Structure 1
């Protein structure tokens, strides 16, 4: 089973518009918890879910801006440093997401990521 504990930097796309985020995962056995901070006005969210083999699923709920929960599912790379998947809200809104394991200098990495062009949404089909 993959171990996702640590800090991750990622992007999710909603209607083709990218939003970057920083996630902190805490894993105990196959149980996943943690927090996500979006680089948008949505703010901080809490997450809870599970890791099964190379698959992850969790629910994200914003602390201040929305009462809706967002479901995420993804596949973890063999190196355990990259996740790619889909998110959805009530099956009405959905899109792709991805994240990579972060190093020690998060501020420098986030500045570098912000200076790079954001790729278009990738089809998972």
Structure 2
């Protein structure tokens, strides 16, 4: 199995402009943060996103799915009981990007894209200051 997708990703999902429920462009692109775990191709995690539509608190969802090579498939289950959303994507750019389609079964679909966040460095590594060239010379 190739490199895991475990970690934090930031992305956006987009509603289709040509769908009758979005004829006036009411459903705007929505940013999200995904935190994935992966063990032997089984993917889990959670997604958080702002509630742009209704102005409520941040929305949360659980993620369950799988990865097979560069293909990722998962179901997003919103904590508020909203419809399940299926995601199918392709992992690219040296495992730094995932792009694909989402769909609500029996309803509508759109596209999504997410990018891997750079891992944070340990505090002690961030605190190390580099000395200028020659600063340690005793000549």
TM-score (norm 2): 0.70
Which has the larger strand fraction?
1
1:64 CA displacement: 1.6
The one of 49, 59, 75 aligned to 1:43: 59
CA 1:91–1:79: 2 relative to 1, 3 Å: farther
1:2 CA displacement: 3.8
C-alpha contact (below 8 Å) 1:43/1:65 kept by paired residues: no
Q: Deviations over 1:15-47 (max 9, x none)?
A: 342000000000001100000001224600000
Give the number of the structure whose alpha-carbon radius of gyration is greater.
2
> Gaps (5+ residues) in structure 1?
106-125
4+ residue runs of structure 1 moved beyond 6 angstroms? none
Q: Where does residue 9 of structure 1 map in the other structure?
A: 10
Inter-partner Cα distance in structure 2 for 1:52 and 1:64: 29
Backbone CA RMSD of aligned residues: 1.6
- The count of corresponding residues between Structure 1 and Structure 2 is 104
